[in-house]
Amino acid sequence: DSGVTQTPKHLITATGQRVTLRCSPRSGDLSVYWYQQSLDQGLQFLIHYYNGEERAKGNILERFSAQQFPDLHSELNLSSLELGDSALYFCASSVDRGNYGYTFGSGTRLTVV
Amino acid sequence: DAKTTQPPSMDCAEGRAANLPCNHSTISGNEYVYWYRQIHSQGPQYIIHGLKNNETNEMASLIITEDRKSSTLILPHATLRDTAVYYCIVSGNTDKLIFGTGTRLQVFP
């Protein structure tokens, strides 16, 4: 157990739907990062929040949004889902801005049918 | 961030040292070398990082050449559980670490 908790572990939904993925960082960690891993794209950086503020953004689709709440947990919202959004979504956390490494959760496997 | 080049795959016998190379010839002075690994669809795991000095921890050693243009991750006594994809990342901005395709290490009995 890495200390980073992601829920749900598995999610199956239909095209056009909206889902929310949740991440609780390790105790004391202020940064949360989201990554998407699909078979043909590898690990893709989506977004980074530090203590509630957005710090960096990757190639995150406009249909996707994220936020970090005052208790430091984060949610990734995916809307108007397409088949191509099927992937593993990982959350990671770090105590600061990641200079000493990220700790990843076990991921949420999203299947869009 | 500097581009890295890693061999797509490597094999290693169990109990032997696994030496994973990484080329980063365009690295700049403020960029660190990070190593992560991912075991079969699990979340990536941080291994080690360094700037210019060699580093060692309980998992591995990192050897960085004097010109910093390449590095080697060493797993001193590889086990079957070390079979994974190993990512070498060079970055001066840890607000977003960009993963490449890595090296798939297969440890065999």
Give the residue from B34, B41, B96 with the most A CB atoms within 10 Å of its CB, the best one to mutate.
B96
Q: Could you tell me which residues come within 8 angstroms of residue A31 by beta carbon, excluding any fewer than 6 positions away?
A: A25, A48, A49, A50, A51, A55, A93, A94, A95, A96, A97, A98
Task: Tell me the H-state helices in chain B.
Answer: none
Residue range B84-105, pLDDT digits in tens:
999 999 998 888 999 999 999 9
Q: What is the dihedral of CA A12, A14, A18, A24, to 10 degrees?
A: 10
pLDDT tens-digit map of A71-89: 999 999 999 999 999 999 9
Task: Name the residue among A97, A104, A105 with its Cβ closest to that of B95.
Answer: A97
From the list A42, A103, A107, the residue facing B101 with the nearest CB is A42
| B96/A56 Cβ within 8 A | yes
Q: What percent of chain A has pLDDT over 70?
A: 100
pLDDT in tens, B29-70: 889 999 999 998 899 999 999 999 899 999 999 999 999 999
For A18, counting Cβ atoms within 10 Å of its Cβ (0-12 exposed, 13-18 middle, 19+ buried), the class is exposed
- Cβ contact A102–B100 (<8 Å): no
**pLDDT at residue A59 in the model:** 87
Tell me the backbone φ, ψ of residue B50, rounded to 5 degrees: -160, 160
- Whether pLDDT at A100 is above 90: no
